[in-house]
Structure 1
Amino acid sequence: MMVRCFEGRSLPEVMERVWQEWGEEALILYTQRRRGLWGRLRRLPPVRVWAARLPSSGAGEEWKRAALRLEENLEWLTATLWGSAPKALFPEEVHLLWRCGVDMETARALSPPSLAFRGGLRERIAQRFTVTEGVSPRTRLAALVGPTGVGKTTTVAKIAALERFHRRRRVALVTVDVFRIGAVQQLETYARLMGLPFFVATTAEEARRCAQRAKEVADLVLVDTIGRNPRRQEHLQSLWELVQAMEPQEVHLTLPANGNDADLHMAAQHFQLFRPTSLLFTKLDEAIRPGVMLNVVHRFPLPISYLTTGQEVPEDIEVATPERLAEWILSPVLEGMLSEKGHGA
């Protein structure tokens, strides 16, 4: 496995170089931003990204474990050399946070009030989150936006089921995802099973009319959108025109908890075009390092609406709470402790 450091002026610029040179064989290990006068005086590139190139035959479980170990060791090394280790945190907390996917910048924000303060890491993590308690009862139209493959269509169906059967609201579904094969049929099937009105729009004018008609027959309109590549600004702009035409009161930026830190940062940054009102994290059941959620919230301080934990509709969704988020962030370590106890017994 080859490891290399890429440098540049911005994270999107560096990530573009990584994908151009290594493509899908690239595995992002760590990202870092230079700060301080010394770097500016020497005119050093402010962004560094360490990436590994996996064998073309694919990465098996052994390669993945090796990459994670390498990432942890690399973070420890760079933190020491750059003097960026969060000094107010206890060593065991620092290592625990890294194992969960929390980066150095975010870890510093979790420092306790004083070195005499022992414990309360879960409480400190919970305090970093704000939540929305799901879709507001006053909201008439809410849209889900995000990159490709994050599970927006299934999540729209899950939210619709929650609102329809638990909150007893009249719900209608609208989709503008007419390009992905089977997307319309998938959401239409969910709508039929739940007895919900269903609308399809392909242009901004159609989207505006569909939103108006849906509001006439429902208390809440949920909009499913096509996934877009965050690096294709023209595609994001065309989708924004569709979403804006419906005048959503809520926009849920949907991101996968099993994504890597650099990709999530880039997606969250580019999707600010949609003026998201909240974050929604999917695929928590597949996340090896769920601490990336905390990294996103640290850089983009938005409340969190929902968490999804599987493919089942409507079971695998929950309204986010700070306590549950803290549990998920620490789940890799907690599961490891339980496993060790089980083997010890």
Structure 2
Amino acid sequence: MHIRTFRAASLQDALETIRHQMGADASVLHTRQVRDGWMGWLGRTYVEVTAGLRDGDESAEPGPTFDEDADELTDCAALPIRSVYLKNEASLPGPLESYRDQLMEFGVAPRTADRWLQATESFTAGLGDSIGEPWMEHLQRSITRELRIGGPIRTQPGAKHIVALVGPTGVGKTTTIAKLAAGFRIQERRRVGLVTIDTFRIAAVQQLEAYAEIMDLPMEVVEKPSQMQPAIERLGDVDLVLVDTAGRSPSSDARIDQLVELLRTAQPDETHLVMAATSSASTIRSVLKGFAPAHPTAAILTKLDEASSTAGVLSAITASDDFAGIPLSYLTHGQQVPDDIQVAEAEPLLKRLLPGTLTREQMDAA
């Protein structure tokens, strides 16, 4: 077999080159995204595709095939380039084609990018010359249809409502707990109690204790499951209990099992998975998979102000054929307590879809 590797700005460009140089009978053997530059930094992202062409009329042997949702290829029969190319061959309007390359550059899987863009084209097809709005706004609307907004935490006076925050290290869970506590204490005038089981980081406990003292909130520290219910009872007659947990790696099964056991004893009414908007699509998918045993009911996206693009994150959390999506409850966009938090809505996320994204209102204001 004759094997060659091609690198291009997009998958479609690579397939076009392979088809011209090796013919339609070539098979895709491997595909991945790569970044040039020093150790992957300060460089551009490319799609690298390895293709093979058999000599003569030998029958095909088992080999890897192209999976549009994966960074690598799965072990199945090799797929001829003509079959792969036909999936991406439908032409898109110029602006949408350029968006496809940008979406993939920021980690959106080809299949997801195509779904978004084809939905956008279908929506605009019936508008004809009356489109009237930038293509980006139509693309944002297409993504909005897949985005789940779950709404904020809701409490009732006199009914103890327990909410736990879980997630990986460094995403801002403790600061988010403080923002939520301040909002419910000051704005909603609810009685709030705090529980922390982040005993792995003494500084985190001290940080939460400082917030509790400033806001005059009861707080309990729990080190093992048997202490959880007594701690919640000592908080007294509160309306809302916010449970802060230690950051855990989604790939650490043992640590996740410990978290699940603590949550089982806490019996939260809601469990919010905290993730950073600055994370890559692959990282978000890993977090969703790793924390699935904790049965999160909603997600909080933090550090929105630091995210250069939300395309990858949105591609990981929105609904698709094989994923129901996860509802968003809150967004945070800074370190200020209690100011830099808001109930989740689509507009702030889509405003940062790609670098330089502008809505019509922003263009008019400029």
Q: Give the alignment's TM-score, normalised by structure 2.
A: 0.69
Match runs of 1:44-193 below 5 Å: 49-52=32-35, 55=38, 59=41, 63=42, 66-67=43-44, 70-71=45-46, 82-83=84-85, 84-85=87-88, 87=90, 90-96=93-99, 98-99=101-102, 101=106, 102-110=108-116, 111-112=119-120, 113-114=122-123, 115-117=125-127, 118=131, 119=135, 120-138=138-156, 140-193=161-214
Secondary structure of 1:333's partner?
coil
The equivalent of 2:304 in structure 1 is 284
- Deviation string 1:32-62 (CA, Å, 9 cap, x unpaired) is xxxxxxxxxx9978xx653448646x94xxx
Tell me how far apart the structure 2 counterparts of residues 328 and 98 of structure 1 sit (CA, whole Å). Answer: 16
Tell me how far apart the structure 2 counterparts of residues 301 and 290 of structure 1 sit (CA, whole Å). Answer: 16
Equivalent residue in structure 2 for 1:195, among 201, 216, 220: 216
CA spacing shift, 1:53–1:236, aligned 2, 3 Å: farther
Alpha carbons 1:141, 1:223 under 8 Å: kept: yes
1:318 equivalent in alignment to 2:342: yes
Alpha carbons 2:279, 2:313 under 8 Å: kept: no
Tell me how far apart the structure 1 counterparts of residues 356 and 228 of structure 2 sit (CA, whole Å). Answer: 42
Tell me how far apart the structure 2 counterparts of residues 43 and 185 of structure 1 sit (CA, whole Å). Answer: 55
Secondary structure of 1:334's partner?
coil
Q: Deviation of residue 262 (structure 1)? A: 1.1
Name the aligned partner's letter for residue 136 of structure 1.
R
Alpha carbons 1:268, 1:300 under 8 Å: kept: no
CA spacing shift, 1:330–1:188, aligned 2, 3 Å: same
The equivalent of 1:233 in structure 2 is 253
Name the aligned partner's letter for residue 244 of structure 1.
R
Tell me how far apart the structure 1 counterparts of residues 292 and 166 of structure 2 sit (CA, whole Å). Answer: 10
Alpha carbons 2:171, 2:274 under 8 Å: kept: yes
- Deviation string 1:143-168 (CA, Å, 9 cap, x unpaired) is 11111111100011111111111111
Secondary structure of 2:267's partner?
coil
Alpha carbons 2:303, 2:334 under 8 Å: kept: yes
Tell me how far apart the structure 1 counterparts of residues 257 and 91 of structure 2 sit (CA, whole Å). Answer: 43
Q: Deviation of residue 193 (structure 1)? A: 0.8
User: How many positions carry a matched residue from both structures?
Assistant: 288
Name the aligned partner's letter for residue 289 of structure 2.
Q
Tell me how far apart the structure 2 counterparts of residues 286 and 193 of structure 1 sit (CA, whole Å). Answer: 28
Q: Deviation of residue 134 (structure 1)? A: 1.2
Tell me how far apart the structure 1 counterparts of residues 246 and 89 of structure 2 sit (CA, whole Å). Answer: 40
Moved over 6 A (4+): 42-45, 78-81
Secondary structure of 2:352's partner?
helix
Tell me how far apart the structure 1 counterparts of residues 230 and 194 of structure 2 sit (CA, whole Å). Answer: 13
Alpha carbons 1:142, 1:252 under 8 Å: kept: yes
CA spacing shift, 1:134–1:330, aligned 2, 3 Å: farther
The equivalent of 1:39 in structure 2 is none
CA spacing shift, 1:329–1:136, aligned 2, 3 Å: farther
CA spacing shift, 1:122–1:245, aligned 2, 3 Å: same
The equivalent of 1:304 in structure 2 is 328
Q: Deviation of residue 222 (structure 1)? A: 0.6
Alpha carbons 1:86, 1:108 under 8 Å: kept: no
The equivalent of 1:328 in structure 2 is 352
Q: Deviation of residue 123 (structure 1)? A: 2.2
- Deviation string 1:290-326 (CA, Å, 9 cap, x unpaired) is 1122112234512100011111111111111133332
CA spacing shift, 1:205–1:125, aligned 2, 3 Å: same
The equivalent of 1:8 in structure 2 is none
Tell me how far apart the structure 2 counterparts of residues 200 and 259 of structure 1 sit (CA, whole Å). Answer: 30
1:211 equivalent in alignment to 2:232: yes
Q: Deviation of residue 264 (structure 1)? A: 1.2
Name the aligned partner's letter for residue 294 of structure 1.
L
Gaps of 5+ in 2: 12-26, 50-65, 69-80
CA spacing shift, 1:189–1:292, aligned 2, 3 Å: same
Alpha carbons 2:304, 2:333 under 8 Å: kept: yes
Equivalent residue in structure 2 for 1:255, among 275, 280, 293: 275
Secondary structure of 2:334's partner?
coil
Tell me how far apart the structure 2 counterparts of residues 135 and 94 of structure 1 sit (CA, whole Å). Answer: 40
CA spacing shift, 1:87–1:197, aligned 2, 3 Å: farther
Compare CA radii of gyration and give the structure with the larger one.
Answer: 2
**Greater helix content:** 1
Identity of aligned residues (%): 33
Secondary structure of 1:50's partner?
strand
Name the aligned partner's letter for residue 92 of structure 1.
P
